[in-house]
């Protein structure tokens, strides 16, 4: 609607009630804080036709009023203070009050954060040779200006150390390079899309990132958690990824407590993920994948490469396939443990061989994968029009690959002993950025 207004055409969005704060935040962020809109109570997508009609008819007078009025400023005031002071009987009480305020303002993840004092921020700035005022990128989804100092402030809140800063800065930059404006539409979606950070190179061991059982809580994952949390706070407070404003999840996901992991390069039979992207073994890099769900694919006794890969291929056939384009298959991020990768590599499978095998065997019912969208929906692409003439039984019996290409399968060797693979629906395609330029 903002783009239409920029072309000189009057536009009035119809906004479902829960999305009012999102509309206010988005109109301010994307350059038209006085954009007028009309509120209706229910979301249209799964609403019965008669209810769509009645709630739209009830909004007609408001629509006409918006189109014919002068308009008014809808943006809410923002606190632009540079410094906040919190007092108490002692430092502990002052920090408690700070956390209560930050949680109320939604600047934290609702867990206790560290005070980002001038001294704490200065220590972190010593971890990079970049100037505090240097602009790293415009960070999606709200495209806030990510300076090195702003990144350090959020990293300080997460308890980061100076040696973590190059990874965090590179991760912020990396998100901005994901296709489709840093994955903006997915980050703002009502689905539980969330980023995962994967670090490659010697720096992972230097800072203490865990490449084993890397996604859980606890002492072994302290650095994984700190770096992931620092990135999340940047995403929230610089990228403006605030729940119920520019993060509109229907249910949400714990993956939004962002995970940062290191690939288990020492136990991988293949070059690292970063090497696949053109980096040298001695170079450090961080990759970001936008994920939408998670599944544990377990193998209970297979030892040959083909059997292990078949278990994995059969396991990734969950989810949906889009009918809105010629290529509707999604992508998969695969965290493959050494007990799967090792035997597969030992039998002579390259990583590309493994991807091709998975692509060949990961087939599922077209009818089941596309049932989420009615076949007569106007959004169904011309390429898929033929399924409208098929019975439901015929559509269910017809199998297609869940991946359009082997390249849509991304393999990262990760984990401890045991043949349990973590699989994530993902997309758009990931991005990888070098870390050493920020040291």
What pLDDT, in 10s, does the model give residues 226-257?
999 999 999 999 999 999 888 988 899 999 99
Q: Is the peptide bond before 357 cis (omega within 30 degrees of 0)?
A: no
Is the backbone of residue 301 left (phi > 0), alpha (psi -120 to 50) or beta? left
Cα–Cα distance measured from residue 386 to residue 380, given in angstroms and rounded to the nearest whole number? 10
pLDDT recorded at residue 186:
83
The model's confidence at residue 79, banded by pLDDT at 50, 70 and 90, is: low
Provide the pLDDT confidence category of residue 131 given band limits of 50, 70 and 90. Answer: very high
Give residue 26's pLDDT band: very low, low, confident or very high (50, 70, 90): confident
Q: Report the alpha-carbon distance of residue 96 to residue 105 in Å, rounded.
A: 14
SS3 content of the chain, % helix, strand, coil (to 5): 40, 15, 45
User: Which pTM does this prediction carry?
Assistant: 0.90
Query: Angle 252-192-183 (CA atoms, 0-180°, nearest 5)?
Result: 135
Q: How far is CA 322 from CA 182, 200, 369, 380, in A?
A: 21, 32, 8, 9
Among residues 315, 285, 289, which one has the least CA distance to residue 302? 315
**What is the pLDDT, as a whole number, of residue 66?**
86
For residues 81-87, average pLDDT: 88
d(CA 374, CA 123): 56
Q: Among 114-123, 160-169, 319-328, which stretch is predicted with the lowest mean pLDDT?
A: 319-328
Give the tens place of pLDDT for each residue, 58-75.
999 988 988 888 765 554
Q: Tokens 């002071």 appear where?
A: 85
Q: Is the pLDDT of residue 199 over 50?
A: yes
The dihedral through the CA atoms of 43, 47, 49, 51 has a sign that is negative
Give the length of the chain.
439
* The pLDDT value given to residue 318: 86
Average of per-residue pLDDT values in the chain:
92
Residue showing tokens 């714990």: 254
User: Taking a C-beta distance cutoff of 8 angstroms, is the pair 424, 332 a contact?
Assistant: yes
Low-confidence winner among 35-49, 119-133, 399-413 (lowest mean pLDDT)? 35-49
- Residue 315 reports pLDDT greater than 90: yes
Give pLDDT, residue 75. Answer: 47
Q: 89: pLDDT confidence band, cut at 50, 70 and 90?
A: very high
Q: Which residue has the higher pLDDT, 190 or 363?
A: 363
pLDDT of residue 190: 87
Structure-token match 């690959």, residue found: 401
pLDDT tens for 260-281 read: 999 999 999 999 999 999 999 9
Check: CB of residue 276 under 8 Å from CB of residue 324.
Answer: no
Q: Which residue ranges make up each domain of the chain?
A: 2-68, 117-362+402-438
Give 90-113 pLDDT, tens digit per residue. 999 999 999 999 999 999 999 999
pLDDT (tens digit per residue) in 328-380: 778 999 999 999 999 999 999 999 999 999 999 999 999 999 998 998 899 99
Please report where in the chains the tokens 């962002």 appear, as a residue.
258
pLDDT at 280: 98
- Across the range 411-423, mean pLDDT stands at 95
241 Cβ partners below 8 Å, 6+ apart? 141, 142, 187, 235, 247
**Which one, of 231, 256, 230, 234, lies nearest residue 243 by Cα?**
256
């Amino acid at each position: 609607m903002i783009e239409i207004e920029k072309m000189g055409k009057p536009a009035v969005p119809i906004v479902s009630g829960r999305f009012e704060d999102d509309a206010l935040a988005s109109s301010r962020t994307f350059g038209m804080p006085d954009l007028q809109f009309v509120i209706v109570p229910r979301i249209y997508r799964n609403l019965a036709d008669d209810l769509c009609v009645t709630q739209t008819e009830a909004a007609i007078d408001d629509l006409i009023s918006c189109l014919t009025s002068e308009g008014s400023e809808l943006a809410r005031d923002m606190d632009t203070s540079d410094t906040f002071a919190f007092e108490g009987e002692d430092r502990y009480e002052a920090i408690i009050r700070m956390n209560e305020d930050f949680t109320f303002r939604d600047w934290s993840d609702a867990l206790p954060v560290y005070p980002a004092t001038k001294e704490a921020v200065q220590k972190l700035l010593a971890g990079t040779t970049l100037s505090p005022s240097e602009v790293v990128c415009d960070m999606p989804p709200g495209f806030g200006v990510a300076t090195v100092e702003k990144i350090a402030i959020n990293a300080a809140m997460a308890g980061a150390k100076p040696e973590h800063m190059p990874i965090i800065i590179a991760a912020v930059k990396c998100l901005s390079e994901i296709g489709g404006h840093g994955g903006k539409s997915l980050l703002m979606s009502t689905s539980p899309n969330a980023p995962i950070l994967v670090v490659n190179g010697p720096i992972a061991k230097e800072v203490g990132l865990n490449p084993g059982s890397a996604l859980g809580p606890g002492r072994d994952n302290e650095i994984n958690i700190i770096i992931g949390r620092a990135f999340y706070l940047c995403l929230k407070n610089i990228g403006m990824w605030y729940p119920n404003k520019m993060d509109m999840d229907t249910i949400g996901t714990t993956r939004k407590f962002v995970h940062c992991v290191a690939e288990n390069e020492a136990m991988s039979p293949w070059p690292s993920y970063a090497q696949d992207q053109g980096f040298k073994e001695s170079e450090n890099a961080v990759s970001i994948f936008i994920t939408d769900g998670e599944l544990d694919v377990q193998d209970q006794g297979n030892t040959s490469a083909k059997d292990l890969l078949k278990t994995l291929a059969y396991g990734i056939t969950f989810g949906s396939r889009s009918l809105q384009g010629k290529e509707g298959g999604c992508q998969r991020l695969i965290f493959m443990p050494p007990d799967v990768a090792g035997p597969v590599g030992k039998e002579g499978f390259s990583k590309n061989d493994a991807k091709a095998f998975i692509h060949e065997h990961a087939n599922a019912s077209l009818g089941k994968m596309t049932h989420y969208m009615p076949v007569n929906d106007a959004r169904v692409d011309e390429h898929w029009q033929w399924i409208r003439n098929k019975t439901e039984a015929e559509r269910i019996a017809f199998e297609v690959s869940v991946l359009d290409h082997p390249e849509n399968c991304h393999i990262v060797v990760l984990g401890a002993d045991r043949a349990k693979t973590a699989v994530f629906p993902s997309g758009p395609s990931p991005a990888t950025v070098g870390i050493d330029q920020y040291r």
